[in-house]
Amino acid sequence: MGEDGEFCFTAAEPFARADVFLSGCMPDLTRSALKKIFEGGGVTVNGRACKPSQSLKAGDAVKLNVPPAEEYAVKPEPIPLDIVYQDGDIAVINKPQGMTVHMGNGNREGTLVNALLYNLDSLSGINGVIRPGIVHRIDKDTSGLLVVAKNDAAHLSLSKQIEQKTCRRTYFALLEGVLKQDGGTVTTYIGRDAKDRLKMAVVPPEKGKLAVTEFAVERRYEGYTFCRFDLKTGRTHQIRVHAKYLGHPVVGDPVYGIKKQKFALSGQLLHAARLELTHPKTGERMVFTAPLPDYFTAVLNKLKPL
């Protein structure tokens, strides 16, 4: 490694793609981090700028310039957190409804990241200055569990578990209407809504990413269904989009739900209730749970079971 974070490699054999070659040479770099380096012109082959898809010949000299780590631009804030579990590698947080996970779209303060920087002694730096420690996210108005990485090794392990679907996430939601089927699997492709770029939608395969959600009815009420959802993929707004696709949107959903709401809610009744993962260092299989928030149970208590 050179003084400016410069790494030099020689291809011992042909490779179909330069990014695949560098992933093998630099296993500690995530795909997203490597992609950013390519986009910034930080990779050359035989002295010339290189694209991720460029093929390599045996003997090609590949140079990778890793930019220095940026210091956090987000200020710590003394926001109380419900820390379900914490050790030197990970922290599991029960996020309240109404809290944005990280900066963006004008959110500079009051985010989970602001709170994490104050409450935790360390965070991974892989996701950059505005998302330190963030391995996965849940929507602002969705409550419940998410895991945070406290160092880069833990971040890589957790990211791999999510990619390989060994990190299991279970949600509970109250849906509009009475769902007829007891359970099943929704398999679609999700992408940006062609009419509203701020929304997601079920789209043709060539315009979206595969999204798979398993669901099971927990209890039926007059006009509503309490349902469990198990994520098999983690697309933006996946459960909310799939609930709408089933014809039974999540109660209180301001984006995908019905306009007239019976209950005075601040957001959708969707809660990340269970998180199962393998500890990055010990290899122990761990399960965390979080009870439904009070405002969620208050609505359920008002309903008449079928």
> Residue 251 sits in a domain of what CATH number?
3.30.2350.10
The number of domains in the chain is 3
Cross-sheet strand order for the sheet of 48-49: 6-10, 61-65, 43-45, 48-49
Q: What is the pLDDT of residues 190-231, one digit of tens each?
A: 998 888 878 899 999 998 999 999 999 999 999 999 999 999
The reply to whether 239 and 270 lie within a common domain is: yes
Question: Which of these three, 132, 164, 196, is where a domain ends?
Answer: 164
H and E: helices and strands count for the chain:
6, 14
**List of long-range contacts for 29-35, beta carbons under 8 Å, 24+ apart:** 29/66, 30/126, 30/155, 30/156, 30/159, 32/127, 33/126
pTM: 0.76
Domain boundary residue, one of 164, 185, 206: 164
Dihedral sign, CA of 147, 151, 152, 157?
negative
Find the range with the poorest average confidence among 14-18, 25-29, 70-74.
Answer: 70-74
Whether residue 139 is found in the same domain as residue 195: no
List, for residues 79-130, the tens digit of each pLDDT value.
Answer: 999 999 999 999 999 999 999 987 665 566 889 989 999 999 988 887 666 6
Does 201 share its domain with 247? Answer: yes
Instruction: Note whether 127 and 242 are same-domain residues.
Output: no
Residues 118-148 pLDDT 10s: 999 988 887 666 678 889 889 999 999 999 9
* Domain residue limits at 177: 169-274+286-302
Query: Is 247 domain-assigned?
Result: yes
Same domain flag for 102 and 39: no
Q: Which of 19, 139, 141, 253 is catalytic?
A: 139
Active site residue 139: yes
- Domain boundary pick from 164, 186, 207: 164
Same-domain status, 121 and 22: no
- Residue-level pLDDT at 79: 95
